Structure 1
Amino acid sequence: MDIAQVAKEVHIASRSAKVGVLGNVSGYDNLKLHPMVEIESVHKDGSVIFNDGSVVLADVILHCTWNSTTTCSFFTFSRCKYHFPFLDTNGIVTVEDNCVGPLYKHTFPPALAPWLSFVGLPLMGIGFILYEFQSKWIAGVLSGRIGLPSEEEMMRDIEALYLLLEASGTPKRYTHGIGHCRMEYMDWFAGECGIPGIEEWRKEIYYATKKNYIVRPHAFRDEWEDEDLALKAHEDFTKCRSNGVDRTCIS
């Protein structure tokens, strides 16, 4: 967005944007999104050819990696790359096209559970809440308080996920994307741990903010229409303070 304020045109080539989101980005006449494409070749005359056949004349190519935010940050996948050169599992856990697996609930490799686990692999979750719930589940499993399914059952669960992704045409690199079920995924951890799940007002605020971001990409932090939800949050926090802070209030 910042570059678009000074450049004649900005073209974003993103493999992680939703199919069908094509053309000018809202609020910018000179910012164009090319979804699900990659640069195929670059030529001396400045022409950039994408793998969908489209061509753009460019002065500068800027590579954006890691956790870069874009105008579509609410519905894209993180651009992180999973790489564990320090971890030797004799081939039990592999990384193929950015899919770490096989992992039960994106966390435990069945053949090495519970002694090896991964925290924070899922994409498009609500970071801190997800990490907290996931860590509590792992701690409960390691303590013996929470049981895991058998290795065979965990593998069946993983294979069912892979089949579902394949049937929906989802690329392997998006295996850890939980955007379509982020709330259910985190509530599942809470249920396993026997703790309250995500409060309804918090879920509503998340979706309201997501909607507001799409409508007001430049002012969503300053303009909103969910005062009633903010009031619910304030009431909940006040209740926590009056009762004394405990772990069920911190989520």
Structure 2
Amino acid sequence: MKMKVCVIGAGIAGLCSAKTAIQNGMEVVVYEQANEVGGTWVYTDDIGVNEFGIDVHSSMYKGLHTNLPKEIMGYPDFPIPDQEKSYIPASDILKFLNLYADHFNVKEHIKFLHHVIRVRPKANQWEVIVKDLKNDKVNTEFFDFVMVCNGHYHTPVIPNYENKDKYKGKQIHSHDYRFPDPFKGETVLVIGAGPSGMDLANEISLLAKKVVVSHHLPEQPKSKFRNNVIQKPDVLRMTENGVDFIDGTHDDFSIIFYCTGYKYCFPFLSMDCGVRVEDNFVQPLYKHCININNPTMAFIGLPFYVCASQMMDLQARFVCKFFSGQKELPSKKEMLEDTEKEMNERWSRGYKKRQAHMMGAEQINYYNTLSEKAEIENLKPVITKIHNESSQRFIDDLTNFRKEVFRIIDDETFIKIK
């Protein structure tokens, strides 16, 4: 009998997980609560909850162009079709994901408009309770394996500042941002200078009267903003009309715009699944993906500051090598020891819990580990090199970095055309 695999989500992670499991001879069912593939790349005007009373998943906004070049946003075995530009519209990524799903016949395994309510271990299997949204029915299915691919850009993190409830202006999280029009003529405080904070501060400054970016980066980004954008340190407290900053200054704002990231959130997992999340540290996981307490469950796509689709494909191949029985996992004791050793090394370098799955410039080490342990093909070194280069350019020249064009020469080499 074929092993049954439940894949939760049909975004970038879910599609390559399903495709890899199918190629490994498994019976695959993908549950997707939207009516199409793409996950966070699906745009909707809706915010809050949708027509079925479920929280809107996507954080996509109108006019978004990728902040990474397309040359590293495809899958290892299925690149994004060539075109003149490297930085492309979000709609092109969605077209690509549909192309991928069609090419590998993944869509026939997807149950659209199916919302996963609960996953729990039961009699050496996984009981998965799912709501068929279209027909308003609840079904229960059993699987041998579960691959959690629900993404991590859907549940906002909003800081709890002193006097937050006394502030009289508008408060918005980037999850609910769709277009810049509501910021026209406003004085805006953008909290956070990660990729979304930088990008959105630049975008809304076209219409806003004034934009202040509050952050705690050790060095100010070299990127030049428009003249109506200034940078300030962290917020100390909020007031009725604005905020006090930690440097002792005060400013008034009509809108506070939180670009403060997202929580890893798995509301469908029961307590006895054996995984807990503490300040975005999902634990205990072997190699950031396999549930050590119940190793027939895996999480695809947790690491960040990575070549996302490339890494997710590598993780899926890593996981399926063990799920399919081609390789045997280390013992629970060995996996716990391996994970503890890695995390202690991270803590010793000053990593916080919320950075437990952050890779960044050292991502190549993670890819090497996955490929070596599972004896699978690694990612091409050129992919990581382009990622590191483009990420730095984003920080250094927010206005112009998307004009650059990358071309891959071979597995190690790329060129850049300005």
Normalised to the residue count of structure 2, the TM-score between the two structures is 0.45
Label 1:88 to 1:50 Cα distance change in 2 as closer, same or farther (>3 A): farther
Q: Does 1:140 align with 2:341?
A: no
| CA distance in structure 2 between the aligned counterparts of 1:52 and 1:144, rounded to whole angstroms | 58
Kindly state the Cα deviation for residue 143 of structure 1 after the two structures are TM-superposed. 1.2
Q: Does 1:218 align with 2:414?
A: no
User: How big is the alpha-carbon RMSD for the aligned residues of Structure 1 and Structure 2?
Assistant: 2.9
| CA distance in structure 1 between the aligned counterparts of 2:311 and 2:404, rounded to whole angstroms | 27
Q: Does 1:207 align with 2:403?
A: no
User: Which consecutive segments of 4 or more residues in structure 1 shift more than 4 A?
Assistant: 50-54
| CA distance in structure 2 between the aligned counterparts of 1:53 and 1:175, rounded to whole angstroms | 32
Kindly state the Cα deviation for residue 109 of structure 1 after the two structures are TM-superposed. 2.3
Show the counterpart of 2:339. Answer: 158
Show the counterpart of 1:41. Answer: 237
Gap regions ≥5 residues in structure 1: 66-78, 237-251
| CA distance in structure 1 between the aligned counterparts of 2:347 and 2:204, rounded to whole angstroms | 37
**Partner-residue secondary structure (3-state), 1:136:** helix
| CA distance in structure 1 between the aligned counterparts of 2:211 and 2:335, rounded to whole angstroms | 45
1:77-106 deviation digits (Å, cap 9, x = unpaired): xx2211112111427311111111111111
**Partner-residue secondary structure (3-state), 1:198:** coil
Task: Give, as a single letter, the amino acid of the residue that structure 1 aligns with 2:279.
Answer: D
Kindly state the Cα deviation for residue 8 of structure 1 after the two structures are TM-superposed. 4.1
Show the counterpart of 2:206. Answer: 5
Task: Give, as a single letter, the amino acid of the residue that structure 2 aligns with 1:57.
Answer: D
Residues 110-149 of structure 1 aligned to structure 2 (within 5 Å) = 110-113=292-295, 115-149=296-330
Gap regions ≥5 residues in structure 2: 1-201
| CA distance in structure 2 between the aligned counterparts of 1:48 and 1:156, rounded to whole angstroms | 46
Label 1:213 to 1:47 Cα distance change in 2 as closer, same or farther (>3 A): closer
Kindly state the Cα deviation for residue 213 of structure 1 after the two structures are TM-superposed. 2.9
Q: Does 1:57 align with 2:252?
A: yes
| CA distance in structure 2 between the aligned counterparts of 1:183 and 1:64, rounded to whole angstroms | 28
Contact 2:276–2:282 under 8 Å retained in 1: yes
Label 1:218 to 1:23 Cα distance change in 2 as closer, same or farther (>3 A): closer
Show the counterpart of 2:141. Answer: none
Q: Does 1:88 align with 2:270?
A: yes
Q: Does 1:102 align with 2:298?
A: no
The number of equivalent residue pairs is 212
Kindly state the Cα deviation for residue 42 of structure 1 after the two structures are TM-superposed. 1.9
Contact 2:222–2:397 under 8 Å retained in 1: no
| CA distance in structure 2 between the aligned counterparts of 1:201 and 1:23, rounded to whole angstroms | 25
**Partner-residue secondary structure (3-state), 1:156:** helix
Label 1:221 to 1:180 Cα distance change in 2 as closer, same or farther (>3 A): closer
Kindly state the Cα deviation for residue 183 of structure 1 after the two structures are TM-superposed. 1.7
What is the identity percentage for the equivalent residue pairs of Structure 1 and Structure 2? 26
Write 1 or 2 for the structure with the bigger share of helix.
Answer: 1
Task: Give, as a single letter, the amino acid of the residue that structure 2 aligns with 1:230.
Answer: I
Larger RCO: 1 or 2 (CA < 8 Å, sep 6+): 2
Show the counterpart of 2:408. Answer: 230
Write 1 or 2 for the structure with the bigger share of strand.
Answer: 2
Task: Give, as a single letter, the amino acid of the residue that structure 2 aligns with 1:47.
Answer: G
Kindly state the Cα deviation for residue 167 of structure 1 after the two structures are TM-superposed. 2.2
Contact 1:107–1:119 under 8 Å retained in 2: yes
| CA distance in structure 2 between the aligned counterparts of 1:83 and 1:156, rounded to whole angstroms | 25
Task: Give, as a single letter, the amino acid of the residue that structure 1 aligns with 2:304.
Answer: L
| CA distance in structure 1 between the aligned counterparts of 2:284 and 2:245, rounded to whole angstroms | 33
Kindly state the Cα deviation for residue 58 of structure 1 after the two structures are TM-superposed. 1.8
Label 1:86 to 1:222 Cα distance change in 2 as closer, same or farther (>3 A): same
Kindly state the Cα deviation for residue 62 of structure 1 after the two structures are TM-superposed. 1.6
Kindly state the Cα deviation for residue 51 of structure 1 after the two structures are TM-superposed. 5.7
| CA distance in structure 2 between the aligned counterparts of 1:125 and 1:23, rounded to whole angstroms | 20
| CA distance in structure 2 between the aligned counterparts of 1:55 and 1:168, rounded to whole angstroms | 34
Contact 1:25–1:33 under 8 Å retained in 2: no
Label 1:3 to 1:24 Cα distance change in 2 as closer, same or farther (>3 A): farther
| CA distance in structure 2 between the aligned counterparts of 1:195 and 1:120, rounded to whole angstroms | 18
Task: Give, as a single letter, the amino acid of the residue that structure 2 aligns with 1:131.
Answer: M
Contact 1:24–1:30 under 8 Å retained in 2: no
